[in-house]
């Protein structure tokens, strides 16, 4: 795991006990605790969710046994992922994926005798700021779930939702992009690349999601706002393809189908700081990006 | 009613009476840089072709909108724009120069007349960041070892073939290229305006390779900038003291050293 200092744009690898592998870290809302998934290196099917004080992560490994009782233990062939704290820090939502690909969202309450309860099918749970609802992802579609009643409504296409304390939901939207790299003398496309691009969009849902729950939105993506996109910059693979075609003397139109995704993903939106963090995944690198966002009025009217 | 008032009323009526079908057949096509290739830290010429199947349209506005998404629409004020007149049932070519950074963000070029958008096109193409861009006017230079020599000399480079007809007439539009290679057989097809743009681009720091002495003989367009005035042809055979393994003679330009320094 890497610990990033967002003020100094620096990071360091955490010196954690090496007999475990670590995944899906999540700071508690007050920043004092960290939940993460760990897996015994020698035992394949043994994943656990543990919660430790955040200061343990920066302590020396010699003073750190990490001998803590796991909140969740998985002795089956499940993958545990996507940990998400409830706003009051009393519960933890997470998802599991079994070896058949079945995805489930669970909630576990912190305490002496933690017990997980399955709440829905899906992955990537995120809590509303008031803790009454969640957004989950199922087959590339986002749903809003009422935690108490278990009722849900469909929102629309999206992945990796994050509901931030200011009421905004950030999510990843993936689409097929056709990009013309070069043109024929008559202006028609010569060398074209088809690839998947992922961009980060946002909608305002309020503190409890009533705005979306009570409205019938069939234009989900159109009503969202783009926050970050990979843009039109060329990748190394595209440039190498173009170079080879030029050297081979190919002049007629060609299409390159790229199966990799040039995408922005794993958004984290901090409402109190007006800052969006996300990963930009290119073909040969991945970068942690930080973007300042601001709320703006686009129009006025009676309704 | 005097003549001035009559003219004003008539003009207003024309605007009101232009029907929707009048704009039905207008489309635009946008080619950035050198047939799509440009550098994202240099100015980019957007070559815009406008096709009009309908009647003439006066004072149409071509503008580059920085971002199509409403998230940044307040900063998408059209800074780059120009007014054009559309010929009836005709095609016109024009251009707008924008920063490469903006082009790489895939802005939209919009054509607006009478308060309506007639057509729009997203700027596509390939933005090159740091690599050397080598443009070859003609096929021949790409077929021999020159690209590999360039790679050894300048590092990884992006190569683009350009037919002579597609060479820009504006030195700024050539800013995407670091090296231009001109094939001797293609040099006669280069128009005087294109040759002038290349000469100006060289004066601005561009590297020009005249393959086989292309266009560098007396009276030819590059004679006034070429260090060697080409006077004829020769060939060089042999193994060059072991530097070559083949014995086929290489055709070369022969000439007189007229300017610059030789090392």
- Taking an 8 Å cut-off on Cβ atoms, the answer to whether B160 and A246 are in contact is yes
Looking at residue A113, its pLDDT comes to: 75
Exposure b/e, A144-156, CB count within 10 A at least 16 = b: bbbbeeeebbebb
DSSP readout, chain B? --HHHHHHHHHHHHHHH--GGGGTTEEEEEEETBTTEEETTSEEEEEEEEEE-SS-EEEEEEEEES-SSGGGGGG----EEEEEEEPTTEEEEEEEEEEHHHHHT--EEEEEETTEEEEEEE--SEEE-SSEEEEEESSHHHHSSHHHHHHHHHSSEEEEE--GGGS-SSGGGGGG-SEEEE-TTTGGGS-HHHHHHHHHHHHTT-EEEETTSTT-BTTSTTTTT-SEEEEEEEEE-S-GGGT-S--SPEEEEEEEE-SS---
Which residue positions in chain B have pLDDT lower than 50? 1-22, 70-75
Q: What is the pLDDT of residues A246-281, one digit of tens each?
A: 888 898 999 998 866 667 788 888 877 788 888 887
Q: For testing the chain A interface, which of B30, B34, B36 should be mutated: the one with the most A CBs within 10 Å?
A: B36
Q: What is the pLDDT of residues A23-71, one digit of tens each?
A: 999 999 998 999 999 888 887 768 889 998 888 877 766 655 667 788 8
Considering only CB atoms, which chain A residues are within 8 Å of B104?
231-233
Stretch among A120-134, A207-221, B167-181 having the lowest mean pLDDT: A207-221
Domain B131-257 coded CATH 1.10.10:
no
Q: For testing the chain A interface, which of B32, B51, B71, B176 should be mutated: the one with the most A CBs within 10 Å?
A: B71
Of A180, A185, A247, the CB nearest to B159: A247
Say if A182 is an interface residue toward chain B (CB within 8 Å).
yes
Chain centre to alpha carbon of residue B258 = 31
C-alpha A115/C-alpha A130 separation (Å) is 22
Considering only CB atoms, which chain A residues are within 8 Å of B107?
none
Of B31, B71, B104, the CB nearest to A231: B104
Confidence at A114, pLDDT banded by 50, 70, 90:
confident
Kindly state the tokens that stand for A104.
């489930």
Considering only CB atoms, which chain A residues are within 8 Å of B103?
232
Look up tokens 């499940």; give the residue.
A78
Nearest chain A Cα distance for residue B160, angstroms: 6
Considering only CB atoms, which chain A residues are within 8 Å of B128?
234, 239
Count A/B contacts: CB-CB distance under 8 Å.
85
Residues A228, A199 contacting (CB under 8 angstroms): yes
Looking at residue B58, its pLDDT comes to: 92
- Taking an 8 Å cut-off on Cβ atoms, the answer to whether B69 and A238 are in contact is no
Where in the sequence of chain B do the CATH 3.40.50 domains occur? 131-257
Confidence at A125, pLDDT banded by 50, 70, 90:
very high
Where in the sequence of chain B do the CATH 2.60.40.10 domains occur? 21-126
- Taking an 8 Å cut-off on Cβ atoms, the answer to whether B158 and A187 are in contact is no
Superfamily of domain B21-126: Immunoglobulins (2.60.40.10)
Looking at residue B24, its pLDDT comes to: 59
- Taking an 8 Å cut-off on Cβ atoms, the answer to whether A233 and B127 are in contact is yes
Looking at residue A300, its pLDDT comes to: 60
Looking at residue B20, its pLDDT comes to: 46
Of B31, B72, B126, the CB nearest to A238: B126
Q: For testing the chain A interface, which of B35, B39, B145, B157 should be mutated: the one with the most A CBs within 10 Å?
A: B35
Of A184, A232, A249, the CB nearest to B106: A232
Nearest chain B Cα distance for residue A247, angstroms: 6
Chain centre to alpha carbon of residue B53 = 26
Looking at residue A298, its pLDDT comes to: 60
* pLDDT of A10 over the 70 cut: yes
Looking at residue A133, its pLDDT comes to: 96
Mean pLDDT of all residues in chain A?
A: 84
In order of their start, the domains of chain A are: 1-121 (2.120.10.30), 150-296 (no CATH)
Confidence at A177, pLDDT banded by 50, 70, 90:
confident
């Amino acid at each position: 795991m890497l610990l990033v200092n967002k003020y100094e744009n620096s990071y360091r690898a955490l010196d954690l006990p090496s007999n475990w592998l670590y995944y899906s870290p999540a700071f508690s809302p007050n920043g004092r605790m960290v939940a993460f998934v760990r897996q015994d290196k020698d035992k394949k099917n043994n994943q656990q969710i543990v919660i430790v004080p955040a200061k343990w992560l920066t302590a020396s490994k010699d003073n750190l046994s990490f001998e803590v009782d796991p909140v969740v233990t998985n002795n089956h062939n499940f993958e545990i992922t996507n940990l998400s704290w409830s706003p009051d820090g009393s519960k933890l939502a997470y998802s599991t994926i079994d070896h058949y690909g079945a995805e489930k969202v669970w909630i576990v309450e912190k305490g002496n005798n933690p017990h997980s309860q399955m709440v829905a099918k899906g992955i990537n749970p995120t809590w509303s700021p008031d803790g009454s609802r969640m957004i989950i992802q199922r087959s590339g579609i986002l749903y809003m779930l009422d935690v108490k009643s278990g009722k849900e409504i469909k929102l629309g296409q999206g992945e990796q939702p994050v509901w931030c304390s200011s009421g905004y939901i950030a999510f990843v939207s993936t689409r097929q992009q056709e990009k013309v790299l070069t043109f024929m003398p008559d202006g028609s496309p010569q060398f074209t690349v088809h690839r998947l691009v992922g961009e980060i969009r946002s909608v305002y849902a309020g503190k409890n999601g009533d705005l979306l729950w009570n409205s019938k939105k069939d234009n989900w993506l159109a009503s969202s706002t783009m926050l970050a996109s990979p843009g039109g910059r060329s990748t190394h693979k595209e440039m190498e393809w173009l170079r080879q075609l030029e050297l081979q003397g190919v002049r007629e139109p060609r299409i390159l189908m790229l199966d990799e995704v040039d995408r922005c993903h794993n958004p984290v939106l901090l409402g109190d700081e007006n800052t969006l963090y996300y990963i930009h995944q290119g073909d040969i690198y991945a970068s942690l990006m930080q973007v300042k966002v601001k709320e703006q009025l686009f129009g006025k009217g009676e309704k | 009613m005097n003549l001035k008032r009559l003219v004003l009323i008539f003009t207003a009526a024309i605007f009101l009476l232009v029907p929707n079908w009048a704009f039905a057949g207008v489309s635009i096509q946008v080619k950035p840089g050198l047939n799509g290739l440009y550098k994202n830290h240099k100015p980019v010429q957007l070559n815009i072709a406008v096709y009009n199947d309908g009647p003439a349209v006066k004072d149409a506005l071509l503008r580059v909108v920085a971002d199509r998404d409403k998230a940044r629409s307040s900063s998408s004020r059209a800074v780059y724009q120009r007014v054009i007149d559309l010929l009836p049932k005709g095609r016109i070519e024009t251009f707008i120069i924008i920063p490469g950074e903006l082009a790489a963000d895939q802005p939209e070029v919009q054509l607006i007349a009478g308060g309506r958008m007639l057509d729009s096109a997203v700027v596509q193409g390939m933005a090159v960041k740091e690599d050397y861009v080598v443009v070859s006017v003609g096929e021949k230079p790409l077929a021999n070892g020159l690209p590999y020599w360039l790679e050894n000399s300048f590092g990884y480079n992006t190569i683009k073939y350009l037919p002579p007809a597609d060479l820009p007439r504006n030195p700024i539009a050539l800013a995407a290229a670091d090296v231009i290679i001109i094939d001797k057989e293609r040099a006669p097809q280069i128009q005087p305006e294109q040759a002038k743009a290349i000469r100006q681009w060289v004066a601005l720091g561009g590297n020009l390779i005249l393959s086989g002495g292309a266009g560098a003989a007396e009276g030819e367009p590059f004679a006034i900038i070429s260090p060697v005035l080409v006077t004829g042809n020769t060939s060089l055979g042999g193994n060059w003291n072991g530097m070559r393994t083949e014995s086929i003679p290489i055709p070369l330009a022969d000439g007189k050293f007229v300017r610059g320094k030789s090392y």
